[in-house]
Amino acid sequence: MDVQRWTYLLVGASFALYLGIAYWSRAGSTKDFYVAGGGVSPLANGMATAADWMSAASFISMAGLISFMGYDGAVYLMGWTGGYVLLALLLAPYLRKFGKFTVPDFVGERYYSQTARQVAVLCALFVSFTYVAGQMRGVGVVFSRFLEVPVDWGVAIGMLIVFFYATLGGMKGITYTQVAQYCVLIFAFMVPAIFISLMMTGNPIPQLGFGDRLSDGTYLLDRLDSLHQELGFAAYTSGSKGLADLFCITAALMVGTAGLPHVIVRFFTVARVRDARLSAGYALVFIAILYTTAPAIGAFARTNLINTVHNQPYDAMPEWFSKWETTGLLTFEDKNGDGRIQYVADANRNELTTFDKDIIVLANPEIARLPNWVVALVAAGGLAAALSTAAGLLLVISASVSHDFIKKMVNPHISERGELWAARISAAVAVLIAGYFGINPPGFVAEVVAFAFGLAASSFFPAILLGIFSRRMNKQGAIAGMLSGLLFTLGYIVYFKFGQTLFGLSPQAVAPARWWFGISPEGAGTLGMLLNFAVSLVVMRLSPPPPAHVQQLVETIRYPRGAGAASGH
Amino acid sequence: MHPNALKAYWRRNLRYVLLLLLLWFLVSFGCGILWAEELNALRLGGFKLGFWFAQQGAIYAFVMLIFVYVGLMNRLDRAYNVHEQAPLAPDRPAGKKRPDPNSPQSPSSPTP
């Protein structure tokens, strides 16, 4: 069978499975819809968290980014895993003890203020929309290649599917669908990695193969370093980013992970406080399997790519090359007219004029000439990753609108049925908006997602952390902190990333040389977070302490005993 | 339970958290970023050590840190008798302002 048929078969079969699960576990109540009835086992919750959170960026973009960035790719690896330590130690158990549906619920009650709740809803919507745009783009990239349709059509197809099962199942449907999606995505990620590791180093474990010897006896990473040197790139195992920038991007991603509403809400779905801690641990195990494999794939793919493409005749390129050329994500221009492809660092001589980082993982099995079913499997895995995250985000968006906004602010007397419908309608609207951003994306998948982390780090994390660990923190401090953190980070990103197109700034004004302390927009979340902490603490000292019942609440969430099921009242 | 015991529980918890976060910082920001250059002089098979920490080692350490914390806290919860008594009733009546019978102020009452 050819790749095309295998793709239809595997993608079709996996979708049938997800839709079946979504239908079987559809939500009957708002509690089912928001927190899956609050009775998910830690293991299943860990797996669902992993799928929810490992997005198109992790599956499709990350290994590709690492293969282009080398050592610097570590910011994504450590950044997107280290946050779980913060989550398990600082947030998850306490938020579970608190026991509400959404993050704005916590902020609203802890800071005894509708304004605080509104600010939190605003932040949640902002973060989730930024994030979901990256996902829809990822879905579009996968569909465009494997169904051979334009990227925009791919996005539209993805929108339709996400719409169907996110609106039907809510959290309950999503949780069990995500367990299935985790299995599909991790299988799809590991199979080609194991194949390639065996082919290149003879070691079946990619994590070890990556530090092993090639058939000629040199270590893979040493070979890669020397190839890079030959072509004029920086050495693969040493980076080119500044220390402050590495530090800030890593910190922004870590703290952002711990502040992402769709990740936090996961810990509301388990039955007990100790389960919340444990399920953060399980989630990280399931995530680590992919995250320790990704850098191996990055190194394998890089070596393979250079060997397959560089200085080879264009006419002799394998089939995958022309297929990606038709998507426009890969272009070749024979600058010196010798009919061969020169892939070098020097932009004037480099003949691979476009090389989208997002295609590395998808093209990798073909570059390594793996069997057709493996190629198709990767497509199914990429879709599982993108769809599971998109669905989780849409749920946060719809919960923010229907629960935090309509029920808590506009119409407190709305019926359960009405609230459920409001949730579904807002999910539908969210899909449309997300689709628009998927078709007109403001950057690469992983970069777009990185911004969402920066915004989460600078808005939610300090407010929640101080809300748990400081009895004295009051609403004035929290609101001022969240707003200043969010606005600062947003301003920094918009200024440096979009300043030229939006405000007609000169290229010099937004050049990396003008970054504060050499910190790129991706690391801005760390600055925003520090600002948030500083503003919160100063404003707190200048304003009265919170009322006694709130201080009592802070006291109560410190002790696990007495954790009830999550409730929306 | 005596409020002092609860204070002691919270202090122990904070001490665990600070210690584990210190290790968290050392393996990632320390070995993976700050000292990566120096550690790269050492090798672990085909890996330069700083590079290995940044792309592999730190992640393994993160997983271990969480499970150590889970273990420590489960023990601490029981030692101070603030652990949850499973199995819980699947749901609680929706009474809004009902005081929590298991809050530290009335630790003797049973779990609903």
pLDDT band at A35 (very low <50, low <70, confident <90, very high): low
The reply to whether residue A562 touches residue B84, judged by beta carbons under 8 angstroms, is yes
Q: Which of A90, A91, A302, A561 to mutate to test binding with chain B, by most B CBs within 10 Å of its CB?
A: A561
What ipTM was predicted for this assembly?
Answer: 0.87
| Cα gap A417→A425, rounded to integer Å | 12
Alpha-helix residue ranges (DSSP H) falling in A36-150: 42-53, 56, 63-69, 74-86, 92-98, 103-110, 114-146
User: Nearest-CA distance from B54 to chain A in Å?
Assistant: 5
**A494 Cβ neighbours under 8 A, 6+ residues apart:** A502
Integer Cα distance of B50 and B35 in angstroms: 7
Tens digit of pLDDT for each residue in A332-341?
Answer: 888 888 888 8
| Domain extent listing, chain A | 3-449
pLDDT confidence bin for B12, thresholds 50/70/90: very high
As a whole number of angstroms, the distance between CA A63 and CA A69 comes to 10
- Residue A493 or residue B70, greater confidence: B70
A560 touches chain B (CB under 8 A): yes
Q: How large is the average pLDDT for residues A389-402?
A: 80
pLDDT at A464: 92
Burial B7-31 (b: 16+ CB within 10 A, else e): eebbeebeebbeebbebbeebbbbb
Residues in chain A within 8 Å Cβ distance of B17:
89-90
B87 upstream amide cis, omega within 30 of 0: yes
Q: What is the pLDDT of residue B74?
A: 92
Q: Using the predicted structure, report yes or no on whether residue B110 has a pLDDT greater than 60.
A: no
> Cβ contact (<8 Å) for A565 and B90?
yes
Backbone angles phi, psi at A412, to 5 degrees: -65, -15
B47:A221 CB<8 A: yes
- pLDDT tens digits for A284-306? 999 999 999 999 999 998 888 88
pLDDT tens digits, residue range A426-466?
A: 888 888 888 887 777 666 555 666 677 888 899 889 999 99
- How many helices (H) and strands (E) are present in chain A, helices listed first? 23, 4
Sign of the C-alpha dihedral computed for residues A366, A367, A369 and A370 taken in this order: negative
Q: State how far residue B91 is from chain A, nearest Cα, in angstroms.
A: 6
Contact A378, A297 (CB under 8 A): no
Of residues A264 and A35, the one with the higher pLDDT is: A264
How many Å separate Cα A422 from the centre of its chain?
Answer: 26
Within A232-346, where are the H helices?
243-259, 261-264, 273-309, 319-327
Q: Residue A81: which of B37, B59, B103 has the nearest Cβ? A: B59
What was the pLDDT predicted at A476? 93
DSSP A269: S
Put simply, the answer to whether A274 touches B56 (Cβ < 8 Å) is no
Length of chain A: 569
pLDDT tens-digit profile of A352-372?
Answer: 887 877 778 878 888 778 888
CATH architecture of A3-449: Up-down Bundle (1.20)
Residues of chain A with pLDDT > 70: what percent? 92
pLDDT higher than threshold 60 for residue A566: no
Contact assignment for B63 to A207 by CB distance below 8 Å: no
Residue-wise pLDDT tens digits, B50-105: 999 999 999 999 999 999 999 999 999 999 888 876 544 444 443 333 344 444 43
**CB atoms A78 and B84 under 8 Å:** no
Q: What is the mean pLDDT of chain B?
A: 78
A249 residue type, one letter? I
Mutate to test the interface with B, among A32, A58, A78, A257 (most CBs of B within 10 A): A78
Residues of A in contact with B6 (CB under 8 A): 558-559
Report the range of poorest mean pLDDT among A49-63, A98-112, A446-460: A446-460
Q: Would you call B103 and A211 a contact, using CB atoms and an 8 Å cutoff?
A: no
Q: For residue A418, what pLDDT is reported?
A: 80
Chain B nearest CA to A293, separation (Å): 9
Q: Tell me the average pLDDT of chain A.
A: 84
Residue of B nearest to A76 (CA): B55
Environment class of B89 (CB within 10 Å of its CB; exposed 0-12, middle 13-18, buried 19+)? exposed
Interface contact A519, partner B, CB < 8 A: no
**CB distance A77–B59 less than 8 Å?**
yes
Q: Cβ–Cβ of B66/A251 closer than 8 Å?
A: no
Least trusted range by pLDDT, from A26-35, A517-526, B34-43, B89-98:
B89-98
Q: Where are the domains of chain B?
A: 11-79
Nearest-CA distance B40 → chain A (Å) = 9
Q: Give the model's pLDDT for residue A430.
A: 83
pLDDT of residue A61: 79
**How far apart, in whole angstroms, are the C-alpha atoms of residue A286 and residue A35?**
21
Which residue on chain B is closest to A88 by alpha carbon? B66
pLDDT at A413 (0 to 100): 79
Band of residue A165 on the pLDDT scale cut at 50, 70, 90: low
Over residues B8-19, the mean pLDDT reads 94
